[in-house]
Amino acid sequence: MTEQIKTDFEKIVKASAFSEKDVELKKMHLNKFLKTGFPTRKLENWKFSDLSQIIKKNIGELSFYNDYSFPNKIDTSIFVEGLEHNKIVFINGRVEKVDFTHEDHDKIEINDDFKFVNRSEDNNSLLSLNNAFTNKCYKITVKKNYSLKKPLVVYHSTSNKITSRNINLKLEFQLEQNSSLRLIDLFNDRAENNFINIFYNFDLKENAILKNYKIDKVQNKNIRYSYNNIEQDDNSVSETFILSSGSNFSKNEINCNLKGEYSSAFVNGIFSLNDGQHHEVRTIINHLVENTKSYQLIKSVLGKNSKSAYQGKIFVDSKAQKTDGYQLSKAILLDETSEFNAKPELEIYADDVKCSHGSASGSLDENSIFYLMSRGLNYQQSKELLINGFLLDVVEKITDTEIKNLVKNMIGLKE
């Protein structure tokens, strides 16, 4: 890999208009990545999956060169219908469209030459890889007291014109005081066998509200890693919902720093997996000051040979009295070959806190199926009804009604 990555890097630098300084910085990140390489099981954060092996097995050798000088054609059929929205369209890692039609343009600032600063997890080699190869990083700032009228949908798509086997994306969001943003990430891949590496950074000022819905629903043979870093000031709220279902392998990491009083973070997720899929969510919620709150609910429905893992960490600083932290994970194993792993980690240094965690897994309840079948439903209908019922309360946690209905339709949940 080392030779390939170096050659590709040089090729990219040659074709690009990066400043010398930028190139130096990128080089530094590349070297940092090369030193550690892809994460392996030896790392506690990657206990349940060896990314290095997974890439080798599913993709083989990665290649990194993409030609970003020509635009890709946007396939408008991927656009969500029946929901007015703003758009950012990524195709093969290139931003093809930034469209805030529905918004007051004075209230949103878009900077396409942002130098992403990494504030946490400096030892994350995937972030180094991302920094070395990201083409452009956009920074979106939502100005004080402005709430976006319509949601922003970020389309993550790939086409078969892709030349590399690795895509790196980055977005930076700043939500100023009293502002709010509803952000939907929609994954839609045509290309197969790529490693897709996504980094988001969110900076939430006082009273800001972020709602991020990540929808990976379309079946695809890609390996996806996504990292959200969320910084939260006083009274800010972040809500993250993850529908993890389409990719071959997917890992979502949420790192949330509750550094303002009365700030709160919600992470809810659904894994719906089958045939050899392996998905993970890892969260790190850092309660750093008094009176902060976090809530997490993760549910899995696991078919044949599929596997999900949930690593949830709640860290409570010694200053963070009156912390309220909660996490629960539940899984239905539909087959004896399916596997669910939960690893709750509570690290608490304050004494006046309320923190709890729980985890449960099992197969579908045969008695419930018998009950439903005795009312004329066939086995398949009964099973679906039970699974929908199991997942419904996670979807109900979505506080935005419009998006809740969208998600319900997407996964075929009836009210």
CB of residue 307 to other proteins, shortest distance in Å? 24
Q: Residue 385 interacts with other proteins (CB under 8 A)?
A: yes
CA distance 163 to 396: 41
Candidate residues 386, 398, 403, 406; the one interacting with other proteins per rule CB under 8 A: 386
Question: In the chain, what is the greatest distance between 2 CA atoms, to the nearest angstrom?
Answer: 72
CA distance 174 to 181: 10
Q: Which is nearer to other proteins, 52 or 388 (CB)?
A: 388
Q: 377: helix, coil or strand? A: coil
Q: How many CA atoms lie within 13 A of 135 on its CB side?
A: 21
Scanning 252-260, 267-275, 338-346, 364-372 for contacts with other proteins by CB under 8 A, the matching segment is: 364-372
Q: Residue 371 interacts with other proteins (CB under 8 A)?
A: yes
Q: Residue 82 interacts with other proteins (CB under 8 A)?
A: no
Residue 195: which residues within 8 A CB-CB, separation 6 or more? 55, 59, 62, 165, 166, 167, 222, 223, 224, 225
CB of residue 368 to other proteins, shortest distance in Å? 5
Q: Which is nearer to other proteins, 43 or 385 (CB)?
A: 385
Scanning 94-102, 167-175, 288-296, 363-371 for contacts with other proteins by CB under 8 A, the matching segment is: 363-371
CB of residue 405 to other proteins, shortest distance in Å? 15
Q: Residue 389 interacts with other proteins (CB under 8 A)?
A: yes
Q: Which is nearer to other proteins, 348 or 392 (CB)?
A: 392
CB of residue 290 to other proteins, shortest distance in Å? 35
State the distance between the two ends of the chain, measured CA to CA, in whole angstroms: 50
Q: Residue 364 interacts with other proteins (CB under 8 A)?
A: no
Q: Which is nearer to other proteins, 43 or 392 (CB)?
A: 392
In degrees, to the nearest 5, what angle opens at C-alpha 399 toward C-alphas 395 and 402? 85
Q: Residue 23 interacts with other proteins (CB under 8 A)?
A: no
Tell me, what DSSP letter sits at residue 164? Answer: -
Q: Residue 392 interacts with other proteins (CB under 8 A)?
A: yes
Q: Which 237-296 residues touch other proteins, going by CB under 8 A?
A: none
Scanning 48-56, 82-90, 300-308, 390-398 for contacts with other proteins by CB under 8 A, the matching segment is: 390-398
Candidate residues 2, 77, 318, 367; the one interacting with other proteins per rule CB under 8 A: 367
Task: Kindly write down the DSSP assignment for every residue of 67-89, as one continuous string.
Answer: --SSPPPP-GGGSPSSS--EEEE
Site mask for other proteins (CB under 8 A), range 323-362, x = bound: ----------------------------------------
Smallest CA-to-CA distance from 241 within 211, 263, 271, 265 is with 211
Q: Which is nearer to other proteins, 345 or 384 (CB)?
A: 384
Scanning 6-14, 66-74, 155-163, 372-380 for contacts with other proteins by CB under 8 A, the matching segment is: 372-380
Cβ–Cβ < 8 Å for 156, 150: no
Q: Residue 388 interacts with other proteins (CB under 8 A)?
A: yes
CB of residue 330 to other proteins, shortest distance in Å? 11
Rg over CA atoms, the chain:
21
Q: Which is nearer to other proteins, 98 or 377 (CB)?
A: 377
Q: Residue 412 interacts with other proteins (CB under 8 A)?
A: no
CA distance 398 to 251: 21
CA distance 192 to 222: 6
Q: Which is nearer to other proteins, 91 or 394 (CB)?
A: 394
Q: 294: helix, coil or strand? A: strand
Phi and psi at residue 402, to the nearest 5°: -60, -45
Number of residues near other proteins (by CB under 8 A): 25
Alpha-carbon distances of 21 from 27, 65, 272, rounded to whole Å: 10, 21, 44
State which H helix or E strand residue 90 sits in.
Answer: strand 86-91
Smallest CA-to-CA distance from 43 within 104, 98, 109, 125 is with 125
Which residues, listed in sequence order, are joined to residue 182 by a DSSP beta bridge? 211
CA distance 100 to 142: 12
Scanning 75-83, 223-231, 280-288, 383-391 for contacts with other proteins by CB under 8 A, the matching segment is: 383-391
Q: Which is nearer to other proteins, 54 or 387 (CB)?
A: 387
Candidate residues 391, 398, 406, 407; the one interacting with other proteins per rule CB under 8 A: 391
In degrees, to the nearest 5, what angle opens at C-alpha 171 toward C-alphas 170 and 173? 155
Q: Which residues bind other proteins (CB under 8 A)?
A: 365-368, 370-379, 381, 385-386, 388-393, 414-415
